[in-house]
A and B are shown apart, each in its own frame.
Chain A
Amino acid sequence: MRDGGAVTYLLHLRCRECGRTYAPVPVAACDDCWAPLEAVYDYGALWSDLSRGEIETRPANMWRYRELLPLEREPWVGKQTGFTPLVGAPRLAQVLGAREVYIKNDAVNHPTLSFKDRVVAVALNKAREFGFDTVGCSSTGNLANAVAAQAAAGGFKTFILVPADLEPEKLIATQIYGATLVKISGNYDQVNRLCSEIAQKYSWGIVNVNLRSYYSEGSKTLGYEVAEQLGWRLPQNIVVPMAGGSLITKIAKAFDELQKLGWVQPAATRFFGAQATGCSPITTAAKSGTAEIVPQKPHTIAKSLAIGNPADGHYAVKTILGSGGAGEDVSDEEIVEGIRLLAETEGIFAETAGGVTVAVARKLLRQGRLSPDESIVLAITGNGLKTVGAVSGELEASVAIRPKLADFEERYLNVTAVARA
């Protein structure tokens, strides 16, 4: 950091299609071709000013990589977000028949238990830089929770648009923060369309619309952390759940940047994208070898991934196919099995998206498309307590017993009265 800390390495935003550049303002799409804009940094200056050693001395949160994020001032909300555990998962690996499996556990991210805390922390700091007093989003749940919580802490007025059929936990965990929750009778894609119309009319900071170019950069920190936690090494494979498709592309960007800065040895990580079969526009395209997305009407228990018209689907497929990875999807039954498998082997209770990731990894290993002898990171992006309804019916209903040792032994240890005597 230099003089007062008001330092940025962000140069400009650049259109991903035509290359036109834009000053860092609240705009998400190119005026000419409507394509998304990508934050571009001064990597030469970063290379000379910053080192791994410097990063390692900093507090354990996502802002240890602050210079690689698009803020132009010091962060003031979400200051404790990120640097979630990377957990070695030997018991899961054994069941999967793999050698080296890690869980990147964003189910315990601060403050709202999903990876969305990362993107929202960047978006709301940026909203403040731009002078917005009102923020909002369209969401499948986790983003709603993250925006509501961090906007409360930041003192923003907040409008949050969600499909009305979201899990009750996610609705409550939005309203509790005092956000205006706007329930829409429709699916996410319809909610998102309305949100886009609102963003066009009102001068608000909509995190996944006009702040999107900044917001999405927050996802890179998951990638930086995985590399640092592996001892500044890139994994050979990573399995990432996909909704809008942004996260997987941003982890790829993070890995590229780390190689550019010389902080990791060059490595060709294979990216595997995971979806629910009931909403699989990205994996369907990847399987047919095309980056052209055909939208779908979602029907899956994995509501956090239920985006039928994914904004970054095109780039997600390119990331997957360009890395030599694959896209795969799983049924609702397999999703529940995935949640249980992760919980029972590693003690981590993931939401439905985590079940998708684990089940897809198992499917890819069985198909021989993931190599069991290579390192595999599973991105677990949300907490199981937010989607308990997806698994509650699967668990045995326990019957109350009297507070008697005999009752306990008889019911749980199969010890009968005769045997005891």
Chain B
Amino acid sequence: MDSRDSGPHVLLARHPQGVPNFLRREVALSITVRIPPPLRKFTGGTETFETTARDLKELFDGLEQQYPGIKQSLCTPDGTPQRFINIFVNDEDIRFLGGAQYLFQDGDEVLLIPAIAGGSAEAPPHATRPVKRE
């Protein structure tokens, strides 16, 4: 078993229903969000974001607080992830983990990846532009 899969903090995070709120606040999670190139215009180029968010909603809110304007690229006003963004927790699509209900575990790495990812508005430096039709 992976070390981050055990320990009392994880058990609490996994089973929050029976845990009083004051105890939940004791849970000190640390998760890392990797910011993809299309979103780095909001982060001033920063590639990672550390957060103690417990779920997706808190993650989106935390990002917005740190980088105003980023949230609307990630989700609808009610917190539903945009259709063209895939969110992975470690190697798994968050939709297979419960989506918005998933509670992050300490050490989780969150990847935000466009469904059709990649590319930039710049061609490689050595590219030459072909002749356009007149």
Footprint of B on A, CB under 8 Å?
2, 4, 6-9, 17, 22-23, 25-29, 31-36, 42, 45, 72-73, 129-132, 186, 189-190, 193, 196-197, 199-200, 203, 206, 209-210, 212, 292, 294-295, 297, 309, 311, 314
Contacts and interface: CB of A to CB of B under 8 A. Distances in A.
13 contacts: A25-B122, A25-B123, A26-B123, A27-B121, A29-B118, A31-B121, A34-B73, A36-B84, A131-B123, A197-B113, A209-B116, A294-B95, A311-B116
Nearest to B128: A131
| Majority SS at the chain A contact face | loop
B124 A9 contact: no
B119 A34 contact: no
Contacts of B124: 130-132, 203
Contact of A193 (B38, B88, B122, B127): B88
A34 B133 contact: no
A130 to B, nearest CB: 5
B82 interface: yes
Given A9-B133, A73-B130, 20 more contacts: A6-B130, A6-B131, A8-B133, A26-B119, A26-B123, A27-B119, A27-B120, A31-B38, A33-B82, A34-B82, A35-B83, A35-B84, A189-B93, A197-B113, A209-B118, A292-B83, A295-B93, A295-B95, A309-B115, A314-B83
Contacts of A27: 119-121
A129 B73 contact: no
Contacts of A4: 131
Contact of A34 (B84, B126, B128): B84
Contacts of B115: 29, 34, 309, 311
Task: Say which size band chain B's interface belongs to.
Answer: 35 or more
Contact of A22 (B93, B117, B121, B130): B121
Given A73-B130, A129-B130, A130-B124, A295 B96 contact: yes
A199 B119 contact: yes
Contacts of B41: 31
B90 to A, nearest CB: 11
B110 to A, nearest CB: 13
Nearest to A131: B127
Contacts, number: 117
Interface of B: 36-38, 41, 73, 82-86, 88, 91, 93, 95-96, 111, 113-124, 126-128, 130-133
Given A34-B84, A297-B96, A29 B127 contact: no
B96 to A, nearest CB: 7
A189 B96 CA distance: 12
A27 to B, nearest CB: 4
B86 to A, nearest CB: 7
A23 B132 CA distance: 12
B117 A209 contact: yes
A203 B37 CA distance: 13
A346 B84 CA distance: 41
Contacts of A203: 124
Contacts of A196: 113-114, 117-118
Contacts of B95: 294-295
Contacts of A314: 83
B93 A309 contact: yes
B48 to A, nearest CB: 13
A393 to B, nearest CB: 31
A129 B132 CA distance: 12
A31 B116 CA distance: 11
Contacts of A199: 117-119
Contacts of B96: 295, 297
B111 A206 contact: no
- Tell which of A23, A35, A45 has the most Cβ of chain B within 10 Å: A35
B117 A28 contact: yes
Nearest to A31: B38
Contacts of A2: 133
A36 B116 CA distance: 7
Contacts of B117: 28-29, 196-197, 199-200, 209
